[in-house]
Structure formats: structure tokens, C-alpha cells
Structure 1
Amino acid sequence: MPNPEKLNITCKDGYSLSATFYDSSAANANLPILISPATGITQGFYRAFAEWLSEQGYQVMVFDYRGIGASLHGPLKQSNASIQDWGQLDIPAAIDALLLKTGKKQVILLGHSAGGQLLGITPNYKKVAKVIAVSGSTGHVKGLKGRTKQLAPVMFHVIFPLSNLFKGYGATKMLGMGENLPKNVAKQWAQFCSRPGYVENAIGKTVFQDFHHEISSPMTVFWSSDDEIATEANVKDLIRLYPNAATKMHELVPQDLGHKYIGHMSMFKKSHQNIWSIIAKELEI
């Protein structure tokens, strides 16, 4: 397997993103895969999975959103990044960069959580042949369950406002929920999850281009029965946003696959590698 290649991606507004490209010595007619991360999760989290995909004959790229990981330039409290920036600027730039790198005309978007929720505001959505949304849902607070259902209101309405005020960013690291977030990301995350539809709640307010009804690329959503965020109700809330796309829901039950848990994050871990071949079946066009 070729060594991973570090790339810099320039967005439409001039912002520079950090990315990693995993080439494949067995690359064939497969479309390249863009791994679009979850909120606050850096590209390194997906390395083992990306390497495995490249061994299966796929060219893969994963990147950090602006304000996250290696795509944070300067102090976090000075970052003006927002979730809508990720969908309107970062994902489009990553799609174009991967196509330029591989010479292909379309990509497969493999989005983790938020990474699979933003295609509806991505201007170059026609360059996406298929969407695989892993732990993909709208995260609507009323659809949450377990400890997360209790934690979310505290995080959104107490921790984020206070940390934004006193620290200048959304404090998530102390909660074990990835990197600390740019203040606008934290604010929008709370707003988007307060009602059904996630980013739909920004349409006509801060987002003025809505492509949800125009998207016809097939979409498969994988979620685990023990996921407290991507619950069945929240998965259904996501796929209803794409009425003209052929959608499939695929529930994974930990015990059926030999695991004690899968949750929202573990599908990408080496300990859960037996799930990867299940996901890979959906990559075929």
C-alpha cells in the first residue's frame, strides 16, 4: 500500500484545509471515496479504516474541517468556522480536490455523523455518486436516548453558552466528545439539533441554497441499535430530507456481530473491523 500523502485543499473563500490521500496500488474502476468526519473528530481517527479501503482497491481522502485539527489556524477562540461553512465550502472543496487528484468525475461520500448530514447544502452535490452515512441522523434532541438524552440539553444550553462566553469556544473535550469546537459550530450544533431536520433549520436564515429536493444520489445509512444519537427516529428524520433519493437504512446490532457495543463511534475502530466489509458492500455502484 502506498504511503499516505498529506495535501492542502483551498476552499472557495481561500481557507486552507488539511487532508490525507490514501492511494491504492490496486486502484481500478472504483470511484474514489471521500471520508467526511463527524463533528469535532480529526482525520487521524479514520486512518485504519482509510488504509483498509485502499487495500480493497479504493482511493480515499479524509480531511479536517476548518477550525478542527490541522485545519485550525491560530487560537480556537478566534475561529469563525461554522457548520454551514463545512457544508457549503469545506466538503465541496474536498470533493473537487479528490476528483482532481484521481481524474474521476464523481466520488462516493462516506460521511460519519455530521459528515453525512450536510450534502443538502453542498453546491457540487452532482459530483457525489452515492452517499454512505455512518451513524448518520439529524441528532434531534427528542430522538436521543440514554445518557446522551440527559447530557445534550446541559451541553447545548449550559456548557456551550458558558464556555463560548468565558473561553471563546465550545467545550466538548472535557465531555469526551472530540475536539473543542469553534464558537459558531457549537452554537449551530445546538440550534440544528433543537428541532427536527438539522441543517434544514438554517434554510432561509443563514443558508439560502437548499439542494435537498434536487439530490437523487442513492443513500445508505448505517446505525447501531445502541447508538444514543443516531437512533432509528433520528435516522428516519435524516432520510426524509431527501425525498428524491433512493434511501436504505441498515441497523447493526452489536451482539449479532460479536460486540458488546458499537455506539456512535466504534464502526471505524480496528476492534470492530468485521463491520467494515458490511459497509464496503454498499460502496458498489
Structure 2
Amino acid sequence: MSNFEKLNITCKDGYSLAARYYPSSTENDNLPILICPATGIIKEFYHSFSEWLSQQGYNVLTFDFRGIGESLHGSLKDSTASIQEWGQLDIPAAIESLLGKTQSEKIILVGHSAGGQLLGIVPNFRKVAKVIAVSGSTGYQKALKGRTKIMAPVMFKVIFPIARIVKGYGPTKMIGMGENLPKDVAKQWAEFCSKPGYVINAIGKTIFEDYHQDITCPITAVWASDDEIASEINVKDLLRLYPNAQTSMYELTPKAYGHKYIGHMAMFRKSHQNLWHILQQQISA
């Protein structure tokens, strides 16, 4: 017996997103949770965490951004998806879908990496009661750490531009960074991370509706000390974009929880389940 329901979410522009809905195992007054994925990460990656949250009394929705996983329709090289569409169209539609399923007035957004970085361009942001930005940061290239700091310029300035012409998409799978990306997602990712501020760099250029100043809901960034992307500098860079929100940072150190690493991805893995109660504490705070 399946512990989730498969859904199709229709966005304002008619695009269909594949989603999973995990109903709560108990009746309660908890706000429903929307899990927004990281760049190139499919909804299945969040299955164990979503299932666990439902057992803790939360209704949970996960989905694939357009151009990714089951939300890719047709050939990847023909996809016109972009990161700004993820924020302006996909996340708003997922919010409305979850509210419709639960008859709630607001949701809690648990965003992984890019999934927690786009609220400032989400039109229905007022329906978000709280944001938990897991590994959330701006990903500013110069503030990266370790191997990622070396790899990022090669990926952004060499691999992506060449692959855009030769392959028609961003080949991230070959370097272990999730699913291959639609060409405009890859292009915007490189552009957004070239300067501090991430999506703020597109305001007034390709994005003309900016809600960062209007957002007042609490935003908590939960990040790991060994995360090469969400460095302390980049986490702070994200939170500064919301001057009127109550923001906070929660740092996790691998050794303190019996792990050799946490990094950018492991917080949602079943191997790191002992970290989930920390995320739940932030959700319920």
C-alpha cells in the first residue's frame, strides 16, 4: 500500500508538475509542509523525510520543478524552464495545491538549497507562514569552499556554455550534482551565483516583481559547518535579502551528531535521520 498520493499540479501558465502528497497519520492543527527541492534534485530524494514528517503529524507535499524528473515533458534540450519560473510559477502553484488538499490558510515552506532561496519572487508569499531554508544560501561563487570553489568556475564558465551549444542542456549528472539541467536553468544558476544576492541579480532585468522587502514571516537557515556551498558568508547573504523578516541561523557540526559529514545534501538522507528532529523543532517553533 502506497503511503503517498501522486498528484499533478497545474501552474498558472498551464505547465504540469509531478508531485507527491503524504497525508498526516493523525488529525491535528499542524500547518501543512511544502518541500521545495534543490537545483536538479527530484522529489524522490525527499521521500524518507516526507514519510517521517507525515508520521509526526504533518501533511506534506513534494514536487519536481519544471524541467526536472517527472516534470520534464519531452526532450531535455527542448526544455525552456528557468529558475525564475520555478519561483514565479512552480512554487506558487505547489502552495495553492497543498492549501487545496488541506483546506489550510497557510503552509510552512521547507526549502532545500534553491528551493529555499526563491521566496522573494513568489507572488503568493503571504500564504507562507514560515520558511526553513535547509542548506539555504545565495551560493555566491567567491564564498564557496573546498573542492566546490574550484569546480564551480569550471562548471559555470566552461562546461555550461559549451554544453549549451553541443548538448542543449547543463550536464550536471556527470559531476554528481543531481539531474541534468535545462539550458536556461544552468545559465541562470551561473548568473545568479556570480555575484552576492542570487536571484536579486535578475531583478529589473528578467524579473520585475520583487517581494523581498514585503516578506515578514520567520526565516530560519539550517546549515552544516562542512557545507561547501552554504558557507556562513553565503547563508548570511541570503538572509540579508529579507530586511523585514525575523531571520535566524542554525549551524550543525557533523561530529556533534556522530557523522563524518553533512555537507549540502545529507540532511535529508535516512543515514542522517538523527538530524530530522532538529528540523522539526524549527518547523514547530
Separation of aligned partners in 1, 2:64 and 2:153: 27
Q: What secondary structure is seen at the aligned counterpart in 2 of 1:220?
A: strand
Q: Deviations over 1:196-243 (max 9, x none)?
A: 000000000000000000000001100000000000000000000000
Matched, 1:29 2:29: yes
Q: What secondary structure is seen at the aligned counterpart in 2 of 1:17?
A: strand
Matches within 5 A, 1:126-137: 126-137=126-137
Shift in Å, 1:119: 0.2
| Corresponding residue number in structure 1 for 2:201 | 201
Which residue identity lines up with residue 107 of structure 1 in the other structure?
I
| Corresponding residue number in structure 1 for 2:17 | 17
- Normalising by structure 2, we get a TM-score of 0.99
Separation of aligned partners in 1, 2:55 and 2:105: 22
Separation of aligned partners in 2, 1:222 and 1:101: 28
Which residue identity lines up with residue 198 of structure 2 in the other structure?
Y
Matches within 5 A, 1:165-244: 165-244=165-244
Separation of aligned partners in 2, 1:2 and 1:213: 42
| Corresponding residue number in structure 2 for 1:103 | 103
Separation of aligned partners in 1, 2:6 and 2:234: 35
Matched, 1:151 2:151: yes
CA contact (8 A) 2:80 2:184 kept: yes
Q: Deviations over 1:28-83 (max 9, x none)?
A: 10000000000000000000000000000000000000000000000000000000
**Percent of pairs identical after alignment?**
69
For the aligned residue pairs, the C-alpha RMSD in angstroms reads 0.9
Matched, 1:86 2:86: yes
Which residue identity lines up with residue 98 of structure 1 in the other structure?
L
Separation of aligned partners in 1, 2:238 and 2:27: 32
Which residue identity lines up with residue 20 of structure 2 in the other structure?
T
Separation of aligned partners in 2, 1:28 and 1:232: 36
CA contact (8 A) 2:25 2:56 kept: no
CA contact (8 A) 1:34 1:107 kept: yes
CA contact (8 A) 2:30 2:58 kept: yes
Separation of aligned partners in 2, 1:240 and 1:192: 16
Separation of aligned partners in 1, 2:246 and 2:151: 34
CA contact (8 A) 1:43 1:63 kept: yes
CA contact (8 A) 2:7 2:19 kept: yes
CA contact (8 A) 1:2 1:24 kept: no
| Corresponding residue number in structure 1 for 2:52 | 52
Q: What secondary structure is seen at the aligned counterpart in 1 of 2:25?
A: coil
Which residue identity lines up with residue 246 of structure 1 in the other structure?
Q
CA contact (8 A) 2:65 2:86 kept: yes
Separation of aligned partners in 1, 2:107 and 2:17: 18
Matched, 1:114 2:114: yes
Q: What secondary structure is seen at the aligned counterpart in 1 of 2:284?
A: coil
CA contact (8 A) 1:2 1:22 kept: no
Matched, 1:246 2:257: no
- Normalising by structure 1, we get a TM-score of 0.99
Separation of aligned partners in 2, 1:201 and 1:66: 21
Shift in Å, 1:27: 3.3
Separation of aligned partners in 2, 1:27 and 1:208: 41
Separation of aligned partners in 1, 2:50 and 2:2: 12
Q: 1:258 to 1:77 in 2, by over 3 A?
A: same
Shift in Å, 1:2: 6.9
Separation of aligned partners in 1, 2:3 and 2:231: 37
Q: What secondary structure is seen at the aligned counterpart in 2 of 1:100?
A: helix
Shift in Å, 1:284: 1.5
CA contact (8 A) 1:27 1:59 kept: no
The number of residues matched between the two structures is 285
CA contact (8 A) 1:39 1:114 kept: yes
| Corresponding residue number in structure 1 for 2:40 | 40
The answer to which of 145-154 and 2-11 deviates more is 2-11
Structure 1 outlier segments of 4+, above 3 Å: none
CA contact (8 A) 2:37 2:112 kept: yes
Separation of aligned partners in 2, 1:27 and 1:246: 30
